Structures are given as structure tokens and as C-alpha cells.
């Protein structure tokens, strides 16, 4: 699969950082089941990537992976519809 274009998943107003997400893998294994892999990047205002990570989930009927900043902007939470949850700590903004 060719990776999809990047989409903005969340923006943190105070830091100006953007969480970008794209699908890099999708399989349909039959019987309304499959896997979904999405890549997430956090970009500073100048476009410099300060975090790159990914998540893969197994889905049945529907699958989704989302990313969002904490209120203080010091962490990013990535959640999968299969119950997975990753919290990544971000560096202090300059």
C-alpha cells in the first residue's frame, strides 16, 4: 500500500505544534476483519519533526486510530479502537 497523505489530527494552540497522521497499512483479512497501521508525527511551527511513531490495530467491522495533545502540550496520546493507548512524552517547548 502506498502511504496516504498526511492529515492534521490535532493542533496545540500554545506551542503551535501539529500532530499529523496518515495510514501506512491496511489489510482486509475477510469476514469483516483486518488490520490498520497509522503513522503519527508531531511537527514544530517550523515543520521540524520532534516525534515519529506508529500504531497497528486489529479491527472487526470498523477500525480507527486517533492522536491528540494533552492540555499542557507536553504529551501526545494515540488511541486505537481496539483499546490500545500510547502516551508519548514531548520535549519542553522552546
What are the cell numbers at 62?
470498523
> Dihedral, CA atoms, 46, 50, 56, 59, nearest 10 degrees?
-50
pLDDT confidence bin for 80, thresholds 50/70/90 = very high
d(C-alpha 35, C-alpha 60), whole Å: 9
pLDDT confidence bin for 50, thresholds 50/70/90 = very high
pLDDT at 11 over 90: yes
Whole-structure pTM value: 0.90
Amino acid at each position: 500500500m502506498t502511504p496516504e497523505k498526511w492529515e492534521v489530527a490535532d493542533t496545540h494552540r500554545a506551542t503551535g505544534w501539529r500532530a499529523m497522521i496518515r495510514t501506512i497499512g491496511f489489510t482486509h483479512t475477510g469476514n469483516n476483519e483486518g488490520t490498520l497501521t497509522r503513522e503519527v508525527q508531531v511537527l514544530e511551527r517550523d515543520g521540524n519533526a520532534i516525534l515519529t511513531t506508529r500504531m497497528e490495530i486489529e479491527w472487526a467491522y470498523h477500525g480507527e486510530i486517533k492522536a491528540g495533545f494533552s492540555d499542557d502540550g507536553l504529551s501526545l496520546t494515540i488511541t486505537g479502537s481496539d483499546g490500545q493507548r500510547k502516551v508519548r512524552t514531548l520535549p519542553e517547548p522552546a
